Amino acid sequence: MKYKYDNREIYQLIIQSVTETDAGNYTCQIYLPYDNYKEWPQKIMDLIVFTPPTFKPDNPAEIQAHSGHNITLVCEANGYPLPNITWKRNDRGPLPNGEFQERGSIYTIYGISVTDCGKFMCTADNEVKPPASFTVQLDVTFVPVCIAVQDVVGQGQNQRFNAKLECLVAANPRAEVSWYKKNRATKEREQIQGGDKYNLDEQYSNYSKPFERWYTLAIKTVQRNDYGDYYCTARNEYGESQAKVTLFSSFG
């Protein structure tokens, strides 16, 4: 583009819809046909294009690791100037290291536990609006944890009362839970199946911690031979855990 101003000729190069690929050096040179081109007057200008942050496509959206291991969360972004990266938890709670914010594209968690599960938000900001955010879901696998609600349960044997044995199981992946009764004669554990005598139930509450479920064994019309030791056993691909509950006669 050419125009005159104050008896001078002004030349302009107009770049429409500027993108980051337009960045670089531009040279304005005056053509003098009778001079050596090396002596032609010129002006070199550097075009800097400021771009908002964008995330690289290979950032993982979900990571799974086993309890006790170290894990690295990676979040890389492009943009000019180079964006600053910060990590926070989506639930606004503290990070595993106790801080509420961590800086840097790489965040390592040492000795992860089930409490570290959840969503971690990576934010890239270089003061060119808008900033960009990216969420990584961290899933922690672990051996089942099995806890008896009551170690001992008492009930009469007049064939009218039922007994309820309960255990709390936390596991990821989800555990397969079975109930066993110790045979007094053989000392062997015999698996209990639901039916007329026993009722097996599983419950999950929205108020429970992640991966927790409640398991109940209801023994109908308690009789003398129902007393003894019962075992709530939870298994997944990483291991096994159990809790013992003793049923005894609560009446002399």
What is residue 161's predicted lDDT score, i.e. its pLDDT? 86
Boundaries of domain holding 34: 2-49
What is residue 39's predicted lDDT score, i.e. its pLDDT? 78
Secondary structure class of 251 (helix, strand, coil): coil
Question: What b/e sequence results for 49-80 when a residue is b if at least 16 CB atoms lie within 10 Å of its CB, and e otherwise?
Answer: eebbbebeeeeeeebebebeeebebbbbbbbe
Question: Which residues, 6+ apart, have CB-to-CB distance to 235 below 8 Å?
Answer: 144, 175, 176, 177, 178
Distance CA 172, CA 213 (A): 11
Distance CA 26, CA 10 (A): 16
Shared domain check, 189 and 124: no
Residue 65, token pair as written in the block: 């690791």
CATH number for the domain spanning 230: value is 2.60.40.10
For the cut 90, the answer to whether the pLDDT of residue 200 exceeds it is: yes
For the cut 90, the answer to whether the pLDDT of residue 205 exceeds it is: no
pLDDT-based confidence at residue 125 (cuts at 50, 70, 90): very high
Shared domain check, 103 and 64: yes
Shared domain check, 67 and 131: yes
Of 83, 111, 141, the residue at which a domain comes to its end is 141
**In this structure, what are the phi and psi dihedrals at residue 95, rounded to the nearest 5 degrees?**
-70, 165
What is residue 103's predicted lDDT score, i.e. its pLDDT? 95
Q: Which amino acid is at 201?
A: D
Q: Give the global pTM.
A: 0.76
Distance CA 139, CA 222 (A): 42
Q: What number of CA atoms fall less than 13 Å from residue 55's CA on the CB side? A: 19
For the cut 70, the answer to whether the pLDDT of residue 85 exceeds it is: yes
Shared domain check, 32 and 119: no
Contact call for residues 244 and 230 (beta carbons, < 8 A)? yes
Q: Bigger pLDDT: 206 or 196?
A: 196
Residue 84, token pair as written in the block: 């600053």
Of 141, 163, 190, the residue at which a domain comes to its end is 141
Distance CA 87, CA 103 (A): 6
pLDDT-based confidence at residue 57 (cuts at 50, 70, 90): confident
Q: What angle do CA 113, 114, 117 make, to 5 degrees?
A: 105
For the cut 70, the answer to whether the pLDDT of residue 203 exceeds it is: yes
Beta bridge partners of 72: 108
Contact call for residues 115 and 39 (beta carbons, < 8 A)? no
Determine the distance from the C-alpha atom of residue 25 to the mean position of all C-alpha atoms in its chain, rounded to a whole number: 45
Residue 251, token pair as written in the block: 């009446």
Mean pLDDT of 215-234: 95
**DSSP calls for 225-239:** GG-EEEEEEEEETTE
Q: What is the pLDDT of residues 128-176, one digit of tens each?
A: 999 999 999 999 999 999 999 999 999 887 767 899 999 999 999 999 9
Tally of structural domains, the chain = 3
Distance CA 8, CA 11 (A): 10
